[in-house]
Chain A
Amino acid sequence: SQQGEEDPQALSIQEGENATMNCSYKTSINNLQWYRQNSGRGLVHLILIRSNEREKHSGRLRVTLDTSKKSSSLLITASRAADTASYFCATNPTQGGSEKLVFGKGTKLTVNP
């Protein structure tokens, strides 16, 4: 079963606008990773944030992590049509001692030119 949920499930914006996606999870984690998936393709790694970190930036991406609320957000600034894709958060649970990732259901982002 899925660990958590992303919201919204779908998001449609105009080019140049910012897109914010949220992710909630249920158990204690080591880290949380965000991925992008274009239709029918594999997952592209975007950013990793460890449980002892609160915010990370990478280019137009900003990720926050609130372990007390068991939630994370991904902000894409100045969006482009090429950002159209599904975005997934994935958590690495503390329990298990492995590289297992537990995924949310994803947010489908459409950026209109």
Chain B
Amino acid sequence: KAGVTQTPRYLIKTRGQQVTLSCSPISGHRSVSWYQQTPGQGLQFLFEYFSETQRNKGNFPGRFSGRQFSNSRSEMNVSTLELGDSALYLCASSLGLRGLAPGNTIYFGEGSWLTVV
């Protein structure tokens, strides 16, 4: 069973540009979340999508956006890039079903390394 796949793995962008990152979740998983990891702030939650709807959102500016498609694949976009957006962006997937005893294992991809110059 394939894991969470993220593309591209590495990219370099210039300040002011925009970037789109892609994530394919594990087959059957309907929840996709995105995280930003930096040395200073650590791992921070960006947003979560479940069945094409944003279910939760972290404290990031509106330049950060995402979407989920009907096949559960997800993309995140960062517009007007700033130097501080340089980070490892991680995608995570899970079944997403809440149930009576929520405890879905959440699996992460290898991440996309974004460098803004």
Residues of A within 8 A of B (CB): 2, 30-31, 33, 35, 40-45, 48, 50, 52, 88, 90, 92, 96-106
Contact = CB atoms under 8 A, between A and B. Distances in A.
Interface string B23-57: 00000000101010000001111001010000110
Given A96-B56, A98-B48, A100-B48, A42 B103 contact: no
B33 A99 contact: yes
A102 B59 CA distance: 12
Main secondary structure of the interface of B (DSSP, over half): strand
A42 B90 contact: yes
B108 A35 contact: yes
Given A2-B42, A50-B101, A52-B101, A101 B110 contact: no
B45 A102 contact: yes
A90 B42 CA distance: 12
B96 interface: yes
Interface of B: 4, 6, 31, 33, 35, 42-45, 48, 50, 55-56, 58, 88, 90, 92, 94, 96, 98, 101-111, 113
B90 A99 contact: no
B42 A106 contact: yes
B110 A105 contact: no
Contacts of B90: 42-43
A23 to B, nearest CB: 13
Contacts of A102: 45
Given A2-B42, A50-B103, A101 B92 contact: yes
A98 B101 contact: no
B51 to A, nearest CB: 12
Given A2-B42, A35-B108, A88-B43, A48 B56 contact: no
A97 B108 contact: no
A73 B33 CA distance: 25
B42 A100 contact: no
